[in-house]
A and B are shown apart, each in its own frame.
Chain A
């Protein structure tokens, strides 16, 4: 042993050990920092997938989340967990002959749905296309248009948000079943189950999903306290989010925020299973199309021209 010790480089021997200890301490230290992102309580860590919870468990989880949110955001919020109404499948209509590209829908949505302001998250993207021979030339579309006034001569506007596909590619690829299609047709995300792998974002053909690259930054006074577990409750760093057809409003019979705010009435919404609804009327009487129909995702977001 001693002979080996003489041959060994003493400094070299000490260095790996010291570095090992340093690394171990760093590791432990980082373990102390990490709980910020996973929730302090052991409960939060062990929380089940929403679909596997009983009603009682859901209530308990919501109570805990409401308390957490009050501490985190400095505002009392209510989290609802209302289920889908039977006989309802939501559909959306967008009148391209009316949209003027004012982006009021984008900001009404961010306010209603507690989207992060810093870093900025918008669930709705409004694309501007030049009128002409080429239809929906996505490569030459413009998202960052900023004229003094809209609408601009020679252009039309096409807002895009989650299309709530009947055959959603995002649901197909999610490794943990953190996203699924509800019976009323809305594709939802359990923000406490999502592992943030972003496979769903790669799979979405409409660029509808957003990731919380950092902790959402919202001021307490801007927070909308009426939230739904699967919808607009305040989210976390490292999870995916997207339009949910304002599940907190639509399951209570109200229109989504974007529909209500549109100043020119370009947005329509209703129950596809109700033959008297306006969405069924427009599908029947106007020629509707959906984006990227060749992908067979069967979106429930119908574009049309009323005139």
Chain B
């Protein structure tokens, strides 16, 4: 009887160990696959993918993909591509309802930063550490991070120039009553 109990316990323990090691192995693999290094921010403000065109599969399931690089005339005319447009075009990043990395892996729109991080590695590293991008939230608690597309239009990322706020008054213009 005692031997049976020991055997069952040993099998259970072994099983537990196996599970534990395999799950770490799984997450490690996942981390490597998604290009994650170190901690990712916990609180992300997700970017909305273009509402009118999402999910893409609504149309693209009923079309055959023409992967020739060209200027689109029928649809998506409002999207001006000014982002490494000599080297890339739509199908280099988009694959249906997901985004495609260089190594062929697909990521969801909510993890678009992994895609951006492929080329913009130094910025990706800075962003994860919290020194790239708009800062808000709590400095000693729930820091709020934004995904890249929250601020940068992925198709035309260069910021427009904006009107500055008023300059300060000159001291000679500050008068008494």
Contacts and interface: CB of A to CB of B under 8 A. Distances in A.
Interface of A: 88, 93, 95, 100-104, 106-107, 119-120, 122, 125, 143-151, 213-214, 250, 253-255, 259-260, 262-265, 267-271, 274, 277-278, 281-282, 285-286, 306-307
B169 interface: yes
A104 B159 contact: no
B162 A149 contact: yes
9 contacts: A103-B165, A107-B165, A144-B168, A149-B163, A214-B176, A250-B139, A254-B138, A260-B134, A270-B130
B116 to A, nearest CB: 15
B141 interface: yes
A144 B167 contact: yes
Contacts of A214: 176
Contact of B166 (A103, A250, A253, A263): A103
Contacts of A274: 140
A306 B132 contact: yes
A264 B137 CA distance: 16
Nearest to A281: B129
Nearest to B175: A119
A268 B135 contact: yes
B126 interface: yes
A147 B135 contact: no
Interface string B17-44: 0000000000000000000000000000
Contacts of B64: none
Given A150-B162, A253-B140, A255-B139, A263 B167 contact: no
Of residues B122, B131, B134, which shows the largest number of chain A Cβ atoms within 10 Å of its Cβ?
Answer: B131
A151 B134 CA distance: 18
B135 A265 contact: yes
For the side of the interface on B, what is the size category?
A: 20 to 34
Contacts of A259: 135-136
B167 A255 contact: no
A149 B160 CA distance: 9
A265 B126 CA distance: 12
A150 B161 contact: yes
Q: Is the interface of A mostly helix, strand, loop or mixed?
A: loop
B131 A95 contact: yes
Nearest to A253: B138
B174 interface: yes
B77 interface: no
A269 B53 CA distance: 38
Contacts of B70: none
B164 interface: yes
A48 to B, nearest CB: 32
Nearest to A149: B161
A255 to B, nearest CB: 6
A243 B176 CA distance: 24
A243 B127 CA distance: 27
Contacts of B133: 265
Contact of B162 (A100, A143, A282): A100
A119 B164 CA distance: 21
B170 interface: yes
Contacts of A278: 129-131, 135
A183 to B, nearest CB: 16
A146 B135 contact: no
Which of A213, A268, A271 counts the most B-chain CB atoms under 10 A from its CB? Answer: A268
Given A270-B139, A278-B129, A103 B164 contact: yes
Contacts of B167: 103, 143-146
B163 A148 contact: yes
Nearest to A263: B134
Nearest to B173: A120
A286 B125 CA distance: 12
A281 B133 CA distance: 15
A93 B137 contact: no
A265 B168 contact: no
B135 A269 contact: yes
